[in-house]
A and B are shown apart, each in its own frame.
Chain A
Amino acid sequence: MHSIETFGTHDGPGIRCVIFLQGCKLKCLYCHNPDTIAMEGGKAYTIEALFDIIKKSKPYFGKKGGVTFSGGEPLLQAKALVPLFKRLKAEGIHTALDTNGRILNHFAMELMDKYTDLVMLDVKHMTEEGYEHITGQKNNQTTFRFSKYREDSGKPMWLRYVLIPGLTDKPELLKALGAYFKEYKTIEKLEIQPYHKLGVHKWEALGWDYQLKHARENTKEELEQAVSLLNPYFKTITIN
């Protein structure tokens, strides 16, 4: 585990206890938690210890809140998460996964099918070229295979899309995003994540070169324009 934010308000419905796990196979250009990318580091917790920590936040979950596993990529540890999520569900706690959707092994499937109330899937880019540019890895089809799997299970999903001026905000990309998912029944909402540079200092601390130095934050008009372009395709769109 990398760290815990007990008052997460931007990673799922209501108040979330957000558990950031260590390790991710992608290295997205804009990653705002680059210190969670390395597979080494973090701190080992037993299932029991993590469960106890999460349970302490339960009085604050109210009707909507719960726990969100983020990262890093939480599904890298899907095998260990199965028994933990099982306990969380037995405790009546709403569970969410914030994932890049690259891992779909049988542990991930069991975790999602049986114990995950909400999957928040990060759609990086609608083209293979763009996907590779952003994440440093090939095969954007993994995202679509993953979304199809969740759709077929009939359980709730949110899509998240980071809107970077000049990189992911071209109208044709947004239309492609909408067109691809418009028939999906399980997508409750699309969250547009405005681009920000709050994580840049972490890249510098790691001694890594931040390649989006020249990118800028979205203007209010750009965000509104993206919402209006995407509106025909999704039930709900929010700017997170």
Chain B
Amino acid sequence: MEVKEFIGGPWTKTVNVRDFVFKNLTPYEGSASFLVGPTKRTEDLWDICLKAMEEERAKNGVRSLDTDTISTIAAFGEGYIDKSKEVIVGLQTDELLKRAMKPFGGFKVVQKALSEHGEQPNEKITELFSNYVKTHNDGVFDAYNAEIKKYRSLGILTGLPDNYARGRIIGDYRRIALYGIDALIEQKKADLENITGPMTDEVIRLREEVSEQIKALKAMKELGNTYGLNLSRPAENAREAVQWTYMAYLAAVKEQDGAAMSLGNVSSFLDIFIENDLKEGLITEQDAQEYIDQFVMKLRVVRHLRMQAYDEIFAGDPTWVTEAIGGMFSDGRTKVTKTSYRFLNTLYNLGPSPEPNMTVLWSEELPENFKKFCAKVAIETSSLQFENDTLMRKSRGSDDYGIACCVSHQDLGKSIQFFGARTNLAKTLLLAINGGRCELTGKQIFDGVPEYKDEYLDFDAVMTNFKIAMQEIARVYSDTMNIIHYMHDKYYYEKAQMALIDTNPHINIAYGIAGLSIVADSLSAIKYAKVKPIRNEEGLTVDFEIEGEFPKYGNDDDRVDLLAAKAVADFNYELQQFPIYKNAEPSLSVLTITSNVVYGKKTGATPDGRALGVPFAPGANPMHGRDEMGAIASLNSVAKINYEDAQDGISNTFSIVPKSLGSDINTRIDNLSTILDGYFYNNAQHVNINVLDKETLLDAMEHPEEYPQLTIRVSGYAVNFVRLTREQQMEVISRSFHESM
């Protein structure tokens, strides 16, 4: 391989991108003043995209569909926005914003999604998938038992990736740029040869998987050829490095439509190539920014075919092209480069946007200039989220990681995740109070919890029953996940992404919970006030009367905050008790996406005084309006949830009106940067930042056409506000906007 321009090391002998980045990266501590605006070509292309997106909104969210092609890595011919102006090429299909069928996750979902737009798959494909081809969804339902189906239909487990792709896996897309595909094929072939007998289930499966990966790599070369790109060799300059990396990502989103298809951590990797070309005088800053602008533009137009029901859980048509930016190396140098800035600069050059989901890896040690710039971008665009680099680096032992989906650490090229959606912890508590019966339907979900008959709820008795309920939910959740991931591997294996990951990587199985703040406040009410269950004629508790005051989560009060932390630790403990497919390691997230609304609908009144049907707070946020001591107290409450108990991530969404952040922009930048230092010093893991006036959001509801790019962070990702349903918009507006005068 070509190494003359770079500092060598182990990366030249084996696939090791981290070593290449570690040896060759040029940290940048300067200011943003070097940044430049978009080129005319970029502006023209983006105008075409904006117009296409307007048409998309006008046509009920789908501009065009393909009903004749099964989308695979090399499917479809070339596709351009405007070929003459593109320096970075490649679309998922042959047309901008055209959505393609990826039926291996589940054919019914594809049919449903198409029929919602008056279309159907062509006859041949319908015949194939109706009679001959088995999908992931078919496999899962062959194996599900009655218990799992009950949990699913009653909304105890929801959003499960059992009829669509699981996503979450991040291919190390940098590998194609650094090594070229031929070298990667050689490596995989060597791996395959070393996977030897005895031929147990595991060994046979792995051999089959690696063979699939090799086929995927060959298909990626074909994809490159379509656009006249020779991906078999390493990238030889900056433009190629960006292009090769994008082609690798493009292969993944042509083959898979997982909920979250993260990009990883490519910006500082690409910077090495850009620095080289700049130094040699081959390109200018304008060229460098143009590559990044156009790359990001392509990431913004990634589209998947979704059913409308999907929107309830994942509102706003997100794709989670999550890119982690910044952070520190384990040796104390920063990973911030000029290209970290160039990525953030796309939010000015192309305007705010939910995608790619830009995630700043924050550390107190980051260069002061970069901190200030990130704070400024967050304030001006509400398009950034921040994660605690110091915490994750130390806890997870890797400084070369991406963010899977919304908030989850993933060691790049070394480990993957099995996505597991989430369960409803607030409902779990209600089941504990109701002897295992669903509070809405009266159906018995599980046995083993005694019916509670006393006039008032007793804290110790409730906790005992809550533990049993957690054990039951964890058991069924774990069974469900094993089936889902077994079948996904079997019928919809991510061969393109896995081809760019070490053979046989470490696996985390990613469980999740919703309703944490309700659980905390409910337990607090039971412990510190008197809570009287109101039972219907069937003896089912359907409401509660609270006598007296109780501390509420969000006010930095240990009495209740530690109940929240304990609930997370307890449930995480229960999840660790079961054997997991492929020896995956269980991990837990406190993250809701936008499912907090639908979960609220499916959950009866709770002991904290929340009425039936009222939305939950998102992620690990305190319940709306219950945090009365200001923003810092609220952040401190969330920070008490121990990351070791929720290594998949603890999402917090922080919304504040500009004036409350400070009187002028410089004060606001200072204050936001200081908040992030303080919050992460307290070992918190994640925060979304929105700096917006409620009036702006209300106006956008009335005049969506005037706010096509208004972006707002929700739990772990960002959406175009105008693409949310009215109900979701109202929920966002009703949340706590920190406002102090």
Contacts and interface: CB of A to CB of B under 8 A. Distances in A.
Interface string A1-25: 0011111111000110100000000
Interface stretch (A60-68, A124-132, A157-165, A227-235): A60-68
Interface SS of A by simple majority = loop
B671 interface: yes
Contacts of A64: 670, 674
B741 A60 contact: no
Nearest to B674: A62
Contact of A238 (B628, B660, B663): B663
A238 B663 CA distance: 9
A198 B629 contact: no
A10 B739 CA distance: 12
Contacts of A213: none
A27 to B, nearest CB: 20
Interface in B661-699: 661-663, 667, 670-671, 673-675, 677-679, 681-682
Contacts of B500: none
Interface stretch (B69-77, B217-225, B631-639): B631-639
A6 B671 CA distance: 13
B738 interface: yes
Contacts of B675: 7, 15, 60
B194 interface: no
B629 A59 contact: no
A15 B741 contact: no
B632 A7 contact: yes
A211 B671 CA distance: 36
Interface in A28-63: 32, 53, 56-57, 59-63
B632 A15 contact: yes
B671 A9 contact: yes
A151 B677 CA distance: 35
B556 interface: yes
B131 interface: no
Contacts of A56: 556, 633, 636
A105 interface: no
B670 A14 contact: yes
B636 A198 contact: no
Nearest to A199: B741
Best-buried of A5, A7, A14 by chain B (most CB within 10 Å): A7
Contacts of B660: 7, 9
Contacts of A15: 632, 671, 674-675, 678
Nearest to A8: B740
B630 interface: yes
Contacts of A6: 556, 629-634, 636
B663 to A, nearest CB: 6
A240 B664 CA distance: 9
Nearest to B635: A60
Contact of B663 (A5, A7, A8, A239): A239
Best-buried of A4, A6, A17, A53 by chain B (most CB within 10 Å): A6
Contacts of B663: 9-10, 238-240
Contacts of B741: 10, 32, 196, 198
Contacts of A59: 677-679, 681-682
Interface SS of B by simple majority = helix
A62 B676 CA distance: 10
B670 A5 contact: no
A60 B679 contact: yes
A194 B505 CA distance: 61
Contacts of B632: 6-7, 15, 17, 57, 60
A57 to B, nearest CB: 5
A9 B662 contact: yes
B512 to A, nearest CB: 28
Interface string A201-240: 0000000000000000000000000000000000000111
Interface in B687-741: 738, 740-741
B263 to A, nearest CB: 32
Interface residues of B, number: 28
B678 A5 contact: no
B630 to A, nearest CB: 4
B550 to A, nearest CB: 16
B630 A62 contact: no
Contact of B630 (A7, A61, A238, A239): A7
Contacts of A198: 741
Nearest to B675: A60
B353 to A, nearest CB: 28
Nearest to B668: A9
Contacts of B628: 3
A7 B657 CA distance: 12
A4 B740 CA distance: 11
Given A9-B661, A9-B740, A65 B631 contact: no
Nearest to B632: A6
A65 B671 CA distance: 9
Contacts of B738: 7
Best-buried of A32, A59, A65 by chain B (most CB within 10 Å): A59
Nearest to B633: A6
A18 B679 CA distance: 18
Contacts of B681: 59
A15 B656 CA distance: 14
A65 B672 CA distance: 12
Contacts of B674: 14-15, 60-65
Contacts of B635: 60
B661 to A, nearest CB: 6
A240 B660 CA distance: 11
B637 to A, nearest CB: 10
Best-buried of A4, A9, A62, A65 by chain B (most CB within 10 Å): A9
A17 B556 CA distance: 13
A62 B630 CA distance: 17
B629 A5 contact: yes
A10 B633 CA distance: 17
Best-buried of B662, B667, B673, B682 by chain A (most CB within 10 Å): B667
A57 B61 CA distance: 45
Nearest to B663: A240
A87 to B, nearest CB: 19
A11 to B, nearest CB: 9
Contacts of B678: 15, 57, 59-62
B556 A5 contact: no
A144 B673 CA distance: 38
B740 A5 contact: yes
Nearest to B664: A238
Nearest to A32: B741
Contacts of A239: 663
Contacts of A60: 632, 635, 674-675, 677-679
A240 B740 CA distance: 13
Contact of B740 (A7, A61, A65): A7
Interface of A: 3-10, 14-15, 17, 32, 53, 56-57, 59-65, 196, 198, 238-240
29 contacts: A4-B633, A5-B630, A5-B740, A6-B556, A6-B634, A6-B636, A7-B631, A7-B660, A7-B738, A9-B671, A10-B663, A10-B741, A14-B670, A15-B674, A15-B675, A17-B632, A57-B633, A57-B636, A59-B677, A59-B679, A60-B635, A60-B675, A61-B674, A62-B674, A63-B674, A64-B670, A64-B674, A196-B741, A238-B663
In the A-B complex, list the 5 residue pairs whose CB atoms are closest, starting with the nearest: A60-B678, A6-B632, A62-B674, A7-B631, A6-B630
Given A7-B740, A56-B633, A57-B633, 14 more contacts: A3-B628, A4-B633, A6-B633, A6-B634, A8-B740, A9-B660, A9-B663, A10-B740, A15-B671, A57-B632, A57-B678, A60-B674, A62-B670, A62-B677
